[in-house]
Amino acid sequence: MTAVHDQGEIEELALSAHLSLGNFEQAEAHAHRSLVLLRPYMQRDRAIVTARLAHAQLGQGDLELAIATAQSIPVGVFTRHPRVTRLLGDFGIKLHAAAPSSSFTRTWDQYTNDFRRSNA
């Protein structure tokens, strides 16, 4: 536990645990608390928590909010941190599994395609 420095990081650990267990409402609550408590310079942690928050929202079936949350991660943070990229890739896979022909899924696909084109 010496790697954990404050309550924001403890909330982040709780978020991860609840997400792994499929307790999406509890995971979302921990995510919101973590985002409030994380120090401003902790951009990578903030992006990871935000990506996990999107997963929790998706797990609750709130596709529109989940996509908006995922898209709120700054592109500069997204591109610099492989864990964030992996979490958002997994988000896309789960979104396709949950709602393969949804307009929300098409919105996410367009967003990721635009992102790839602009960074190619």
pLDDT at site 117:
72
Q: What percent of the chain has pLDDT over 90?
A: 73
Place of tokens 């609750």: 60
Once rounded to an integer, what is the mean pLDDT over residues 13-35?
97
User: Which one-letter DSSP state was computed for residue 6?
Assistant: S
Confidence of residue 4 (pLDDT cuts 50, 70, 90): low
SS3 per residue for 41-110: CCHHHHHHHHHHHHHHHHHCCCHHHHHHHHHCCCHHHHHHCHHHHHHHHHHHHHHHHHCCCCHHHHHHHH
pLDDT tens for 71-119 read: 999 887 777 889 999 999 999 999 999 999 999 999 999 988 887 777 6
Class of domain 7-118: mainly alpha
The whole-angstrom separation of Cα 76 and Cα 59 is: 26
